[in-house]
Structure 1
Amino acid sequence: MNIKIIGVGKIKEKFYRAAIAEYGKRLSRYCKFEVVEVPDEKAPENLSEAQMAEVMVKEGERILAKIKDREYVYALAIKGKERTSEDFAAEIDKLAIYGKSDITFVIGGSLGLTPAVLKRADQQISFGRFTLPHQLMRVVLSEQIYRAFTIINGLPYHK
């Protein structure tokens, strides 16, 4: 199984990079895990609606360029479906059983994801209504993917 996280922008903080690397190392026994960073669009603070849309479109195009046709895509979105860790693990397991072994998770930039990216997604997933820094969300997502594999394999980590 191949698991990929596509995120907008670079992670600058060492502790976030270290946490993602740790989960990547743990995941290596279950899947090929990769994090792909696409450049964020540099923009001033006070953007007009049109400028915000333009930034989102450019970031969305960069995201879509990193997704292959065969990949099953989860878009992280506040309005997405919330799940328990057990439900998430069951979904990942079911996807593998049905031959969907290339799973991609997409985390947008500070303005979110364009309709084109949301349309390409097979599902939208939410980790709640909190707003989290995108760098931290990559850590949280990496941990939940690892947790899913421990649940699937009946390991005690989840308890």
Structure 2
Amino acid sequence: MQKVTLLCVGKMKEKFYIEAAAEYTKRLSRCCRLTVIELPEERLPENPAPAQIEAALEREAEAIRGKLPPSSRVIALCIEGKLCSSGELARTMAAWANGTASGLEKQLVFLIGGSHGLHGSVKAQAWARLSMSPMTFPHHLARVMLLEQIYRAYQINAGSKYHK
């Protein structure tokens, strides 16, 4: 069974996000070995200066790099990433999963940044960049949306009727 990690900056607090994420996590347990890692979001003043945001993003990037499993394909979610349909994501995930290095299966690691996104160095080091939409969403909602799309991709690849 394929390993998938969702590495997120920020902890979900709202009950409705937590419940929705839990539902897709439960569904995904039949499709893959999912691990969700939450890293703390750096605290910033109410109106941070650009330099303060940059410094916070760099600290978050260090924490992210410290949690990346070896032999992984890192997919950073960011607005400048590639837009794709659910079907395209399913095909791409199947191709990513089948990629090997020295005979080892690559673990997929999806990165979701905090309220200020991901540091440029993390995006530059990512194996791929993916965009959910040109619209902006709260990062907690993006997590639920990504979990649903990962589940949908597995269902598409399995030939299920979940994807209509």
Q: Extract structure 1 runs of 4+ deviating beyond 6 A.
A: none
Instruction: Report what 1:54 is aligned to.
Output: 55
Q: Does 1:14 align with 2:15?
A: yes
Q: Given the two structures, how large is their TM-score scaled by the length of structure 2? A: 0.93
Matched with 2:121 is 116
1:106 corresponds to 2:111: yes
- Residue equivalent to 1:143: 148
- Is the counterpart of residue 152 in structure 1 residue 153 in structure 2? no
Deviation at 1:129, TM superposition (A): 1.2
- Residue 79 of structure 1 corresponds to 80
Distance 2:80 2:92 in 1: 19
Q: State TM-score, norm by structure 1.
A: 0.96
Residue 63 of structure 1 and its aligned partner are, at CA, apart by: 1.2
Q: Name the counterpart of 2:136.
A: 131
Q: What 5-or-longer segments of structure 1 have no aligned partner? A: none
Structure 2, unmatched stretches of 5+, are none
Say whether the 8 Å CA contact 2:97–2:108 is kept in structure 1.
no
Task: Judge conservation of contact 2:7–2:36 (CA < 8 Å) in 1.
Answer: yes
**What RMSD, in angstroms, separates the aligned Cα atoms of the two structures?**
1.0
In percent, how many aligned pairs have the same letter? 43
Q: Secondary structure at the match of 1:76?
A: strand
